[in-house]
Structure 1
Amino acid sequence: MENRTFAFIKTDKKLVKLFYKDIMIIKGLGNYVEVHTLNGKRYIYYKTLKDLIDSLPDEFMRVHNSYIINLINIESFEDNQLLCGDIKIAVAKSYKDCLTEALGKMML
């Protein structure tokens, strides 16, 4: 099960299967997180960003104290702003170098 392409989250008293490739952004809300998917759905469940980042695959990266993004679903990056779908996210200075390096590895 190490090479899973999905995970289950508990939200609204049910387990929901989410494929990693469908996750765009994970936003921290204190002890909860809000998961935004490519198809526009949002799920809120009980977990902190700090606990969550350790269990996600390598294509996920923390770019702000409140955001984890899926590198695969980034549309553009300019002036410390990421665009994922129609959501703009500010990249914190402390995470910018790491993000730039990761995106550099994905360039043609």
Structure 2
Amino acid sequence: MRCIIVDDEALAREGMESYVAEVDYLELVGSYNSAVAAHNAMQQHPVDLMFLDINMPRLTGLNLLELLPNPPLTILATAYPNFALEGFRLDVVDYLLKPVSLERFLKAVNKARDLYLLRQQQQAPQQPAEAEYFFVKHNRALEKVVLADILYVEGMQNYVQIHTTSQKLMVHQTIKAVAERLPEQQFFRIHKSYIVNLSQVQALDGSSVRIGSCLLPLARSQREALLQRIGHRFL
């Protein structure tokens, strides 16, 4: 985490700098004796964490926080306890009273690190949603197949027949290859020759699965696994 120290007292800055040097995940990129200097620096080079004194001439630490549209994670370090409420109103990570012990400093920066990692996770690009459809070659044309519309897939040697709510599509493809294309949380292979859409299953009866008016064979080896997959929906 890139951090800066803002304090008008040289000794206080030096003490905080020595603490920062003790922490592997902190990188000190600036140490400033005024809020104005820190403000100017952050316009050019944003930082992740700021150690901020409150009572400084010309511009206080709280004034600085209010000026920044997107302030970094901030730990206040001050000799004045009466500003704590105001500090937390500005969403600071922690409020340290001088003189600051190393133990108290580490507790504050660990809290800041946890918040930083959470923000990084929230800002990370989301994985693209799994495709809700695919195209298959059928009768010299490419036909769109919506996953939710599939009732079941029937294997026929090197072909499969995809049964949907509106049509049947004969495709030159093995059932194994089709199984690898279908999202496993939505589809289940109940037999060497059949894959069903779990949301379309209407009944389990002994060694068969009913979808609409069709009874499909359920392999004995797959029965227990199927029951586990739909078990959370039992009343």
TM-score, normalised to structure 1, is 0.93
Asked if 2 retains the 8 angstrom alpha-carbon contact of 1:38 and 1:85, the reply is no
Distance in 2 (CA, whole Å) between partners of 1:107 and 1:22 is: 23
Find runs of 4+ consecutive structure 1 residues off by over 3 angstroms: none
2:228 aligned residue: 101
**SS in structure 2 at match of 1:8:** strand
**1:36-60 Cα deviation digits (max 9, x unpaired):** 1113x11001111111111101211
% identical equivalent positions: 28
**More contact order relative to length (CA 8 Å, sep ≥ 6):** 1
Structure whose CA Rg is larger: 2
Flag structure 2 segments of 5+ consecutive residues without an equivalent.
1-127
Query: Deviation at 1:2?
Result: 4.7
2:212 aligned residue: 85
TM-score, normalised to structure 2, is 0.44
Flag structure 1 segments of 5+ consecutive residues without an equivalent.
none
**SS in structure 1 at match of 2:134:** strand
Partner AA of 2:171 in structure 1:
Y
**1:15-35 Cα deviation digits (max 9, x unpaired):** 000110100010000010000
Residue from 55, 60, 67 that aligns with 2:181: 55
**SS in structure 1 at match of 2:181:** coil
Q: How many residues align?
A: 107
What's the RMSD between the two structures over aligned residues?
1.2
- 1:1-108 maps to which residues of 2 (within 5 A)? 2-39=129-166, 41-57=167-183, 58-108=185-235
Query: Deviation at 1:106?
Result: 2.9
